[in-house]
Amino acid sequence: MSNANLKQRKDAATPRGVGIMCNFYADRADNAQLWDVEGKRYIDFAAGIAVLNTGHRHPRLIKAIEEQLQRFTHTAYQIVPYESYVELAEKINQLVPGPGDKKTAFFTTGAEAVENAIKIARSYTGRPSVVAFNASFHGRTLLGMALTGKVNPYKVGFGPFPSDVYHTAYPNEQAGVSVEDAKRALKALFTSALDPKNVAAIILEPVQGEGGFNVCPPEFMKHLREVCDEHGILLVADEVQTGFGRTGKLFAMEHYDVHADLTTMAKSLAGGMPLSGVCGRAEIMDAPAPGGLGGTYAGNPLAVASALAVIDVIKDEDLLARGNELGKRLQERLKAIAKDVKNIADIRGLGAMIAAEFKDPDTGMADPSFVKTVQERALEQGLLLLSCGTEANVIRFLFPLTITDKIMDEALDIIEEALRG
């Protein structure tokens, strides 16, 4: 089987709307490496878009899934429940930051988690409106797109979108938006367009993912908490991409002195199996009536088994410390390269959630063409890199936290060569 033959079949059988980055097809994978159908090896710094913090096919995840496979694969938790779902909820309730009793419900995708968080917030507060942020990403469902703060490619041609969703500025130094600018923008929104007493939730990513790995400053997060407390609004942390060790903490909100009322999670929660969740204060989570939450595949037992193993692997292999170590190593290398490669405008992130932003050194404008060139050079040498940012001028580095030192060093050398040209 060849990549070219598979591409022909793909073009004939699947729609163009499912965008494909790579021109090769996966055959097998192990930890931070994968091989295509023609036997070529790649180092995976995409990790299924931040899904594989524990790497491809971690032995403990395989074992957990296989054991569950021998028992049952599906009952629909809402019809016949099972202990593993309850056990995972108990663990998540203890792990998500914030005081008081918590409860957790499981779903399938990140977008599902986000939509259910909004449903729960509206049910609890009795209010309709939601505030999200520019450059945010919250999914490709209709409500997810409404919440997402980037038009192309996510919103083009798909409207109209659900109403009562408003956007405001997210602090971003590279975009010229200070914390004070963002504070003023939120105040202006509440003054000119939206009564805060009608707002059910403010939702944000502690570190914006698709938007460019923009880290929310602690001062602004504290301000949001104060605004929410003043007006009876719920603060929702979308930790779909930041969760499960990516930022050097299990959850990114652990970097802040304040807590969210609801937390969404997915991606690396189950190490490649489709699973998402919403966790929040017990009284908030109990607001919807029985039957208001759920889904046929929500909390699938195979995915739940994998998630329980993920939590153990992160703890037993000290992957939080490992992520911080690897992130520091990457930042140091990038900073050294930036002394010569003037296109590098910024290097930022938390833990192992690191990105580099690129601008034309002469004009100061975003330089997506340079990013594309770097991606192509790296891919030729067998390294997968993802771009992000509202202008596609940011490279994000999503290596598995389980990557070996040898493979990491090889990847860093490829990155340097690709940047230097």
pLDDT at 293: 97
> Which of 258, 291, 316 is the C-terminal boundary of a domain?
316
Are 291 and 378 within one domain? Answer: no
Q: Decide if pLDDT at 143 tops 90.
A: yes
Q: Decide if pLDDT at 282 tops 90.
A: yes
Are 129 and 161 within one domain? Answer: yes
CA dihedral 213→204→176→184, nearest 10 degrees, is -170
Q: Give the closest residue to 231 by CA, choosing from 267, 191, 184.
A: 191
262-265: strand order across its sheet: 102-107, 276-281, 262-265, 234-238, 199-204, 129-133, 165-168
Spell out where 242-331 has E strands: 262-265, 276-281
Percent of the chain with pLDDT over 90: 99
Q: Decide if pLDDT at 93 tops 90.
A: yes
Are 281 and 338 within one domain? Answer: no
Are 144 and 252 within one domain? Answer: yes
pLDDT at 1: 84
Tell me the Cα Rg of the chain: 21
CA-based angle 262:300:101, to the nearest 5?
30
Are 80 and 139 within one domain? Answer: yes
Percent of the chain with pLDDT over 70: 100
CATH label of the domain that carries residue 23:
3.90.1150.10
Are 380 and 245 within one domain? Answer: no
Are 211 and 80 within one domain? Answer: yes
Are 348 and 331 within one domain? Answer: yes
Where does the pLDDT of residue 17 fall: very low under 50, low under 70, confident under 90, or very high at 90 and above? very high
Mean pLDDT for the stretch of residues 146-169: 94
> Which of 293, 316, 339 is the C-terminal boundary of a domain?
316
Encode pLDDT of 367-396 as tens digits: 999 999 999 999 999 999 999 999 999 999
Expressed as residue numbers, the domain containing 207 is 62-316
pLDDT at 146: 97
Encode pLDDT of 184-228 as tens digits: 999 999 999 999 999 999 999 999 999 999 999 999 999 999 999
If one counts the domains in the chain, the total is: 2
CATH label of the domain that carries residue 145:
3.40.640.10
Mean pLDDT score of the chain, rounded to an integer?
97
> Which of 316, 338, 370 is the C-terminal boundary of a domain?
316
Are 347 and 262 within one domain? Answer: no
Are 39 and 84 within one domain? Answer: no
Encode pLDDT of 336-371 as tens digits: 999 999 999 999 999 999 999 999 999 999 999 999
Are 85 and 119 within one domain? Answer: yes
Are 303 and 327 within one domain? Answer: no
